[in-house]
């Protein structure tokens, strides 16, 4: 992985964490500095730690998984795509009844 890919991955992960943090902050009734710092540390820690854990595990199992990695990616993406299609074409009984909107208040 080159420097450009690494920077793009870092920007994407930081945007994801930023969006989640903004939404969590907007949902707070009262702004509390201690809670905001703890949430920031947790979001930042997990966003930094998960790629490192993935890299460490991936480098350990690269010899075993390397020959079949494309099939693993295909199966995972096919499963996710199939699940999305299933949810798009099956009707959900609770969808659109307006009860979820009341929970936001």
What range defines the domain where residue 47 resides?
A: 3-90
Instruction: Tell me if 96 is assigned to some domain.
Output: no
Instruction: Tell me if 41 is assigned to some domain.
Output: yes
Q: How many domains does the chain have?
A: 1
Instruction: Tell me if 50 is assigned to some domain.
Output: yes
Contact criterion met (CB below 8 Å) for 16 and 47:
yes
Summarised one tens digit per residue, pLDDT across range 66-92 is 899 899 999 999 999 999 999 999 977
Is 55 a residue whose pLDDT tops 60? yes
Integer CA distances (angstroms), 37 to 29, 48, 81, in order: 16, 16, 37
Is 26 a residue whose pLDDT tops 70? yes
Cα gap 50→27, rounded to integer Å: 25
Instruction: Tell me if 24 is assigned to some domain.
Output: yes
Cα gap 85→77, rounded to integer Å: 12
Cα gap 32→85, rounded to integer Å: 42
Instruction: Tell me if 105 is assigned to some domain.
Output: no
Contact criterion met (CB below 8 Å) for 39 and 24:
yes
**pLDDT at residue 2, rounded to an integer:** 84
Instruction: Tell me if 102 is assigned to some domain.
Output: no
Which percentage of the chain shows pLDDT scores above 90? 25
């Amino acid at each position: 992985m080159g420097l450009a890919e690494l920077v793009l991955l870092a920007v994407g992960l930081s945007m994801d964490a930023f969006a989640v943090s903004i939404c969590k902050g907007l949902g707070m009734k009262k702004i509390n500095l201690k809670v905001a710092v703890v949430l920031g540390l947790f979001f930042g820690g997990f966003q930094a730690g998960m790629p490192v854990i993935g890299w460490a595990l991936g480098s350990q199992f690269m010899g075993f998984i390397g020959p079949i990695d494309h099939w693993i990616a295909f199966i995972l993406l096919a499963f996710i795509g199939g699940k999305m299609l299933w949810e798009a074409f099956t009707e959900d009984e609770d969808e659109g009844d307006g009860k979820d909107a009341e929970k936001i208040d």
